[in-house]
Amino acid sequence: MTVTGRGPDRAPSDEREERGVTAPVIGVLALQGDVREHVAALAGAGADARPVRRPAELDVVDGLVIPGGESTTISKLADIFEMREPIDKRIAGGMPVYGSCAGMIMLAAEVLDGRPDQRGFAGIDMTVRRNAFGRQVDSFEAPVEIAGVEGEPFHAIFIRAPWVERVGAGVEVLGRVTEGPAAGRIVAVRQGHLVATSFHPELTGDLRLHRYFVDLVRAAA
């Protein structure tokens, strides 16, 4: 008997290759936050993008985006929807993940000014400060040059954003704020297959960061 379903050793990319599909499948963690905006941006960047809120949906993606939103809410819902352990396992197995704003907090090994019961995925060896740039009324926009992203500086939108206060030896700093009182603060990082930004590229219409991540997922797959 020939088994055509996906076994434990079959990657999503293997199945798509058999079907002649080349676009990487990238999920957006759809528990809370800017889900639709990320799905649209990923689709525009060449991915097969879809919302993910159940372990079975996570099983068939090559990469994952953790969107901006409220990190404490995402943390709680990750437990309610039984997504924490599956995401931890996929990260440990090398699945590329991109976190924006709250997603950066969820990927951090250490969070300052977070709730005591707040838990993330601790994939990137960095310390972030939650709401470091201030409250909602302190939201701002600023140009940020991103290493590996060609062209003019990225028009970054910061909304109750964190910043990075410490990075480990294996973490590459991709971008810093270059203007204003927060000049020099780290707002974009990468550690291997994990990428995080303090800001919201999904709100800008500029697809360069999403293309960067799609290329990373395609290379990993």
The reply to whether 150 belongs to the active site is no
Would you list the DSSP string of 110-176?
Answer: EEES--TT------EEEEEETTTT-SGGG-EEEEE--TT--SSPEEEEESS--EEEEE-TTPEEEEE
Spatial distance between the Cα atoms of 138 and 99, rounded to a whole number of angstroms: 21
DSSP state of 34: S
Spatial distance between the Cα atoms of 220 and 101, rounded to a whole number of angstroms: 24
Spatial distance between the Cα atoms of 17 and 196, rounded to a whole number of angstroms: 29
Catalytic residue, from 37, 38, 193, 202: name it: 202
The reply to whether 202 belongs to the active site is yes
Q: Which residue type, as a one-letter code, is found at position 150?
A: E
The reply to whether 85 belongs to the active site is no
Q: Which residue in the block uniquely carries the two structure tokens 């901006």? A: 68
Asked if 175 and 154 touch (Cβ cutoff 8 Å), the reply is yes
Spatial distance between the Cα atoms of 27 and 60, rounded to a whole number of angstroms: 9
Catalytic residue, from 101, 110, 150, 172: name it: 101
Report the catalytic residues. 101, 200, 202
